Structure 1
Amino acid sequence: MKTNSAENDHLPVYESLVRERGDAVAEARVVAEETHHQVTQALNWHDAVQPESES
């Protein structure tokens, strides 16, 4: 969900809470993106190191 600045102009209570407590929504979005990136890397079997065969 994306919001534009025009929508936020009509939310003075939200802006006040962000100033007082921080923007939890933005922080959660950042953590979610980082987690998604880590999970993608962990599940990407193409980049996994293959054990050397014993010959």
Structure 2
Amino acid sequence: MFQESPIYDRLVAERGDVPAHTRREAERVSRELEYVMRPLQAHGAFTPTERPASPGAGWQRTALPPGSLPH
């Protein structure tokens, strides 16, 4: 990706390869999340198309214009 880039090479030498480290961490987190979510998906407890029940289900907040107070 960064061929013949002395500035990038120097930064990597000084600070480490941050993009590569970030990519590895993102892949690790993705694998862990997949592992954690697998039991829920296997038992049908939750599918991405369903919304979990939440307190206050059935009502929805609406935004108020700045400076407005509810009556």
TM range (shorter): 0.5 to 0.7
Q: 1:15 aligns with which of 2, 6, 9?
A: 9
Q: How many residues are matched?
A: 41
- Whose Rg is larger? 2
Q: Which runs of structure 2 are paired with 1:14-53 in the superposition (5 Å)? A: 14-45=8-39, 46=42
CA–CA separation in structure 2 for the residues paired with 1:38 and 1:30? 12
CA–CA separation in structure 2 for the residues paired with 1:27 and 1:42? 23
TM-score, normalised via structure 2 length: 0.51
Residue type at the aligned position of 1:44: R
Gaps of 5+ in 1: 48-55
With a CA cutoff of 8 Å and minimum separation of 6, indicate the structure with the bigger relative contact order: 1
TM-score, normalised via structure 1 length: 0.63
Identity %: 29
